[in-house]
A and B are shown apart, each in its own frame.
Chain A
């Protein structure tokens, strides 16, 4: 079943290139190229700022993804706590040195880019919890003592992100963390307890919500409540997607986005723009590409032999799924509007960095699938 150790540690370059998951690679590349065209369309069919910087970012981070892929998974395994701590410190840093934009403090200014540590934390938390659970024996997993630490690791970043405030990202971070805990085998009753606790705390939580956040939830429940205010985004997004029809309005002809009816078209509503211009066929293509990526991630989880690798790949696949599902659900009017970018497609450096980082680790799991982890 296991190859001799000597073989495993000395994979030749050829072996590594052979074991790259080309389907995953190709899917990412196709989505990236599609996103460049979409970005070109948001710039009104001109080669402007958003398009240029999106292209630059995509290629830099794609390269980054490639580099990460060829770093042995063992390295990530070893440094995962460190990575988590660095990201956590960055999140703390946001609290003190962060840049504020449209009412929330999310970014740290590094000279080459404004970094959003909460995006990185999405991956960092999964990495850390995967390592944690791969190391404790299965008997101890349901021990309350061992549950305390992951919950702390989970709550810390979530609370920090919530107070930025950024409800969407904190929910996505939470989903990632909870998925790892779930996959590790924590008993369902604990989840049930948490669910009960969560529901009973909801009324208190609601009182802490900002008025605009409350508004968004109420608007989600009834978009016509305030068609020019809070409901505007959902209504315009639905109009844009619906008016795309089967074949779409054609590239660069999406009137809803071109005429600025569509809000946040570069970031959260990039899928809407694409759906409007390329119709049902286009949106189905995007959906299929994401399904392909997620299923490849799950497949890698199957192939990799270490518990850490499995936990990471499955969790990241699920987290990735949740990003896609939340974003699409949001623009399709199935979920409230909670600022969540669509992975790879959306404009935004941090999101792209974090996704490419996560995908890179998964790819490394594939390449070093037989690498033994202590």
Chain B
């Protein structure tokens, strides 16, 4: 039966459940209200938050542009590199994996230890790079054993590679981004992508911003632990712009091989359009060593090497021009009418000026010298006399006109501008007055005079083309007018007084002659012909008899250390003194004589005399360059022009 107190009890219960029901309804209203707030009113905010949780972006390093030579050989190219990544999460037994890898890749214990420490520091699904540059045999071995190497992942990536080291100094190298790079280069900060390399020297540095490309994006959906689940979007970015240079890789290689065990530099330039055909500095280095970060030992070896391999001697090495400047001294004297070509000076081996004795390189003296024979035989006494008459300031003007004392190329931050001394210069930089004796030293390219081999090459080129200013270039783009210079200069040289033919007029070329009277230039060229091709000329032994290769040149030896009276008396030879004290050997030339096309400068550091060590190198290089001239002229000149 129902309990006695049934009715009253059940009334209480009903009343109280009614109260509770109201409470429940209130709570449900609260929950419903909350749902409205979250899912309707604030839904946009939470959708944003959810997407922020969900998506993560990775930036992709773009492929660098390629640097090519004139014949489209790649000087700096990209190669597929084979890398080995390990994702610790995917392997059951990391110890076993390392044990297998150690056998396959010859990993050192130290390296394995470093890798394990790195693994311990990061999340298990983040891959680590075990090796960023495997060779093919290692890579194929990895692939062969891949079924045993759970968690290891062979990856093919793209990295910079320099196929040949002969152009290392021209092209430069790339390496990992440093703190300084980030500080100084806005475009790098804008890229902000890991694993990118940046040009440190040479063209790689100059062209960096254009060659580096645009960064790509990879958008991933990630889970709560940051593991990538799925790729949502991929923008590969754009690889950098490709560049073509005027360099001839074959000549580069040939030249580099020729001077490989010397500390030397060779420049070859087209005398009409200023194209730099070769720019070799020796010894060279392996730029590939920098791409993945050079190790400290190799770096120290490069820095401490006696021959300074990292220095681009062609543009950053400063040397007194020595006797190679004599052409300019003679030209300046002729242009300023301080001497005639016929005036003779007696050389008896030395001359006394202002209480000092100045020596000729030839102890016995040359006898009576006119200007042509003085250049031909490189008589110092004649040029002391000429310089004395000319004065250093007039010489400086001519020397600067022909390209000394300023940077030849705009492309290299490591290029030096050298020194053309003048009275003003000395006052400004040294703070002393000019001594007349210093004028005499300047007259034979000693004293304060400093130049780079590239400057000497430009100087020779501008003499060889008949005295017109050219703008040397190494990067070939559509904008330079250089390609039309040749026709113009040749026409002008042939018919100095005739008006220009219409097709040249329309080109609107404004070539600047560097001479007052072109006869003077022609005289210097003829004297240089004599110096190489006539008996008694300083580089006579290096001449070509074949008209095709015949060249005209001027030797030079720049003195490092003053000869003592005792050494002079004992007729000490260059190879008898310390390497560091020997003269630098120089040689400048243009070829072929009949229809000049190229200028060359050769420097051999501490090589002794120009005629014995620099000229023979020039001879071989000239032959190579001229052999390739026909090939080179077949390449369309308007390369890069938008047609």
Asked if B53 is at the interface (CB within 8 A of a chain A CB), the reply is yes
B1, B8, B225: the one within 8 Å of A260 (CB):
B225
A184, A256, A287: the one within 8 Å of B50 (CB):
A256
Q: Provide the residues of chain B in CB contact with A287, threshold 8 Å.
A: 28, 31-32, 35
Chain A, 176-203, contact with B by CB distance < 8 Å: what is the 0/1 string?
0001001111000000000000000000
Asked if A284 is at the interface (CB within 8 A of a chain B CB), the reply is yes
Chain B interface residue count: which class?
35 or more
Tell me which residues from 1 to 21 in chain B have a Cβ below 8 Å from any Cβ of chain A.
1-6, 8-10, 12-14, 16-17, 20-21
B4, B12, B45, B46: the one within 8 Å of A137 (CB):
B4
* Extra inter-chain contacts (14) besides given A236-B224, A374-B1, CB under 8 Å: A135-B3, A184-B13, A246-B43, A255-B54, A256-B53, A275-B35, A280-B35, A291-B28, A298-B21, A301-B17, A305-B2, A307-B6, A325-B27, A334-B34
**Least CB separation from A182: chain B residue:** B16
Q: Provide the residues of chain B in CB contact with A333, threshold 8 Å.
A: 34
**Separation of A275 and B35 alpha carbons in the complex (Å):** 9
Asked if A294 is at the interface (CB within 8 A of a chain B CB), the reply is yes
Q: Provide the residues of chain B in CB contact with A302, threshold 8 Å.
A: 14
- Shortest CB–CB separation between residue A303 and chain B, in angstroms? 12
Interface residues of chain B, those whose CB is within 8 Å of chain A, are 1-6, 8-10, 12-14, 16-17, 20-21, 24, 27-28, 30-32, 34-36, 38-40, 42-43, 45-47, 49-50, 53-54, 221-225, 229
**Least CB separation from A276: chain B residue:** B50
- Shortest CB–CB separation between residue B228 and chain A, in angstroms? 11
Q: Provide the residues of chain A in CB contact with B40, threshold 8 Å.
A: 245-246, 280
Q: Is the CB of A283 within 8 A of B229?
A: no
Q: Is the CB of B46 within 8 A of A238?
A: yes
Tell me which residues from 213 to 249 in chain A have a Cβ below 8 Å from any Cβ of chain B.
236, 238-246
Binds B, one of A87-95, A149-157, A166-174, A310-318: A310-318
**Separation of A310 and B4 alpha carbons in the complex (Å):** 15
Q: Is the CB of A134 within 8 A of B3?
A: yes
Known: A137-B3, A241-B46, A372-B1. A259 touches B53 (CB 8 A): yes
Asked if A306 is at the interface (CB within 8 A of a chain B CB), the reply is yes
Q: Is the CB of A259 within 8 A of B222?
A: yes
**Least CB separation from A263: chain B residue:** B224
Asked if A117 is at the interface (CB within 8 A of a chain B CB), the reply is no
Q: Provide the residues of chain B in CB contact with A314, threshold 8 Å.
A: 13, 17, 20
| 10 closest residue pairs by CB, A with B | A242-B46, A243-B50, A138-B5, A185-B12, A280-B39, A245-B43, A259-B223, A260-B224, A243-B46, A242-B38
A138, A179, A241: the one within 8 Å of B39 (CB):
A241
Asked if A139 is at the interface (CB within 8 A of a chain B CB), the reply is yes
Q: Is the CB of B20 within 8 A of A179?
A: yes
- Shortest CB–CB separation between residue A35 and chain B, in angstroms? 19
Asked if A251 is at the interface (CB within 8 A of a chain B CB), the reply is no
Q: Provide the residues of chain A in CB contact with B43, threshold 8 Å.
A: 242-246
Q: Is the CB of A259 within 8 A of B12?
A: no
Q: List 13 A-B contacts (CB under 8 A).
A: A236-B224, A239-B50, A241-B46, A243-B46, A246-B39, A259-B224, A260-B224, A275-B39, A287-B32, A306-B2, A310-B14, A314-B17, A332-B31
Q: Is the CB of A242 within 8 A of B2?
A: no
- Shortest CB–CB separation between residue B83 and chain A, in angstroms? 29
| Interface size of A in residues (CB-CB distance below 8 Å) | 54
Q: Provide the residues of chain A in CB contact with B35, threshold 8 Å.
A: 241, 275, 280, 283-284, 287, 332
- Shortest CB–CB separation between residue A155 and chain B, in angstroms? 22
**Least CB separation from B6: chain A residue:** A307
Asked if A28 is at the interface (CB within 8 A of a chain B CB), the reply is no
**Separation of A184 and B14 alpha carbons in the complex (Å):** 10
B3, B13, B46, B53: the one within 8 Å of A185 (CB):
B13
Q: Provide the residues of chain B in CB contact with A328, threshold 8 Å.
A: 31
Q: Provide the residues of chain A in CB contact with B4, threshold 8 Å.
A: 137
Q: Is the CB of B17 within 8 A of A245?
A: no
Asked if A279 is at the interface (CB within 8 A of a chain B CB), the reply is yes
Asked if A250 is at the interface (CB within 8 A of a chain B CB), the reply is no
- Shortest CB–CB separation between residue B21 and chain A, in angstroms? 6
Q: Provide the residues of chain B in CB contact with A135, threshold 8 Å.
A: 3
Q: Is the CB of B2 within 8 A of A318?
A: no
Q: Provide the residues of chain B in CB contact with A321, threshold 8 Å.
A: 24, 27
